[in-house]
Amino acid sequence: MNSLLCTLSLFLASSLVLFHARSVADVVADTCKKSAASSPNVNYDYCVKALGSDSRSSSADVQGLGLIALNLLESSVTSTASHIQELLKQKQDPYVQKRLTDCSDQYSDAADSLKGAVGSYQAKQYLDVQTAVSAVSTYADTCESQFKDKEGATSPLTKQNGDVTQLSYIELAIVVIVKGS
């Protein structure tokens, strides 16, 4: 009888763990599905991978995922700004050097825009969050597009700008979901 009780307890415990893991994954997947459905700019696979990369997503609700997305965006802006500084230390073509300098200014502005965004999000001041995040997206788009002014020139920041832009779109879509709930 003890082994049957032990087996049953183990089965129930593992079922509960699997159910919890599935429901957590479902929150991320459902949020990304709703985000992608509400905004054609949100890439579902990117969203799932990005939000799932943060260990806090395992216990987050949609509101928490919005905060995670905002933190990921801040981190991406900071890391891109650092990457730009490293590129500026290298010998660059004058055309690229000028654009990198402009991008450095844009990412400085992006970081400034995000400074109060977490507090605004936590205070449910979603319009302020949307304004800040939209500005960040614009800075990244502007940084990327300026490299296209010269035929044959390529941006050394395409991936970073794309990450910042995608995380911005995800955050904006989650804010819309949170506001509607």
Burial class, 151, CB count within 10 angstroms (exposed 0-12 / middle 13-18 / buried 19+) = exposed
Question: The domain 2-180 is classified under which CATH number: 1.10.3720.10, 1.25.40.10, 1.20.140.40, 3.40.50.11260?
Answer: 1.20.140.40
pLDDT in tens, 60-92: 999 999 999 999 999 999 999 999 999 999 988
For residues 62 and 167, what is the distance between their CA atoms, to the nearest angstrom? 15
Beta-carbon neighbour count of residue 109 at 10 Å?
Answer: 16
If pLDDT is split at 50, 70 and 90, which confidence band does 3 have? low
Provide the residue ranges of all domains of the chain, joining segments of one domain with +: 2-180
pLDDT in tens, 84-125: 999 999 988 899 999 999 999 999 999 999 999 999 999 999
Q: Residue 58 has what pLDDT?
A: 87
4: pLDDT strictly greater than 50: no
Question: What distance, in Å, lies between the first and last C-alpha atoms of the chain?
Answer: 49
Mean pLDDT value across the chain: 88
Query: What share of the chain has pLDDT > 90, as a percent?
Result: 78
In contact, 100 and 153? CB cutoff 8 Å: no
Nearest to 104 by CA among 169, 151, 157, 165: 157
